[in-house]
Homo-oligomer: A and B are copies of this chain.
């Protein structure tokens, strides 16, 4: 058993609360100091969000939560702590005063990280008893979900201490990005500031509203950046001609007067080559074709995730998909579903995970339900069918990219009972890949208990069961 670690969080709010949640949910003990009389409530709200959200990221249970305490003084908070995170207001005089209090009581080996986005570590270290103990550890909201931490140290910092800090951040699921030289606003906020300035111009000049700007970002480059960032995206766009060639093409653009943000570096051959070399080191182990497939796989999986949430580009997919929904015809069996297997449905064995068969048969039964009148409006009205038992036979392997069809028969349809027999076939050759015997009961969504269907649904189910028993 490793020693239980303790984090001291100085300054609460959304950022301090996010840090507290990260440590606490990863099993650390957490002590908080925040003079705000509302601190406990505010941090409690962040913790509530975090307890709901962070464990959902993982396919295993997280460690048992550590102990959380609120302290009266900085000294009590930091004494013996392994990590001290400062998230007080962005005023240098306040930060210096807080560091003096912290260093008066904390272990010399403890890490003191600052959440500052505005100050360089050399500024934070000024006048400190042990300047090398203080470093920038700049997080991104929500801290309990996003992994990025910009770690910025100075020549006064001990390299082994910075290494140790990065190891501790990694151990709570964060990604320490070590910034090579200190610079105002570190790295990410420089981009945010550049975009922010451009966005202010666009709103001011009446080119676009805030919503249009958000759409211009999230329906296009935003989702690209979420998985590859800037340079790897351009590497793929550049294609086989290579990164150097692609970068050289940008030269003329930098002279264009298309933005008011105009102080740009000279794109010398040396700079273009430096970028190309760094890009090779980063992504050169994959061909452009492999990078394209990786990019597309990421985009598909993320857009499908947003589709399930019904938000952003996923909302657009749901709208467009309505035009593809077929009208079922009462055959024996009925063709209840046609679809392609997406990349995010395969597992460690290289084929579709058995859970996804369940989803396909569930989707097929939704179509059958809609056919008998238990459609979206019926469900919105408080009635539905719940599956109570399935027996599934997996007869052939199914792979991403394959088109499949489900053929369904209603084999029982009396009162509350609805039983379907589904067959999933490969569309190209009709081979049966799996079957599912699915038994459902009609329920009230209010009481969550069984009840009779509406007379119309009941009649339709009986008619379909009769038709399908004739054909069997």
Contact = CB atoms under 8 A, between A and B. Distances in A.
Nearest to A238: B14
A354 B338 CA distance: 19
Contact of A379 (B215, B292, B348): B348
Interface string A69-113: 000000000000000000000000000000000000000000000
A120 to B, nearest CB: 10
B58 A265 contact: no
Interface string A178-210: 011101110110111111111111111111111
A147 B313 contact: yes
A324 to B, nearest CB: 4
Contacts of A177: 212, 215-216, 219
Given A142-B292, A200-B265, 10 more contacts: A56-B300, A177-B216, A184-B258, A190-B202, A193-B259, A203-B278, A210-B230, A226-B226, A348-B384, A392-B392
A129 interface: no
A444 to B, nearest CB: 12
B57 A342 contact: yes
Contacts of A175: 215, 219, 313, 316
A225 to B, nearest CB: 4
A354 B358 contact: yes
Contact of A145 (B192, B282, B299, B389): B299
A239 B14 contact: yes
A355 interface: yes
A56 B359 contact: no
Given A229-B218, A308-B301, A354-B362, A394 B403 contact: no
Interface string A315-326: 011001101111
Interface stretch (A47-55, A155-163, A418-426): A47-55
A298 B311 contact: yes
A279 interface: yes
Given A187-B202, A260-B263, A299-B146, A308 B213 contact: no
Contacts of A147: 219-220, 313, 316
18 contacts: A49-B293, A56-B343, A57-B303, A61-B340, A63-B324, A185-B259, A190-B202, A194-B195, A200-B254, A200-B267, A203-B275, A222-B222, A222-B226, A294-B311, A354-B390, A358-B392, A388-B394, A390-B392
A130 interface: no
A220 B355 contact: no
A248 interface: no
Interface string A338-350: 1111111001111
A60 to B, nearest CB: 4
Q: Size band of the A side of the interface?
A: 35 or more
A282 B214 contact: yes
A467 interface: no
Contact of A362 (B55, B217, B265, B355): B355
A416 interface: no
Contact of A389 (B294, B302, B391): B391
Of the listed residues A202, A208, A296, the one surrounded by the most CB atoms of chain B closer than 10 A to its CB is A208
Nearest to A274: B203
A287 interface: no
Given A225-B218, A296-B53, A321 B58 contact: yes
Contact of A180 (B206, B231, B262, B384): B206
A330 interface: no
A195 B61 contact: no
A356 interface: yes
A445 interface: yes
A320 to B, nearest CB: 4
B61 A271 contact: no
A67 interface: no
A193 to B, nearest CB: 6
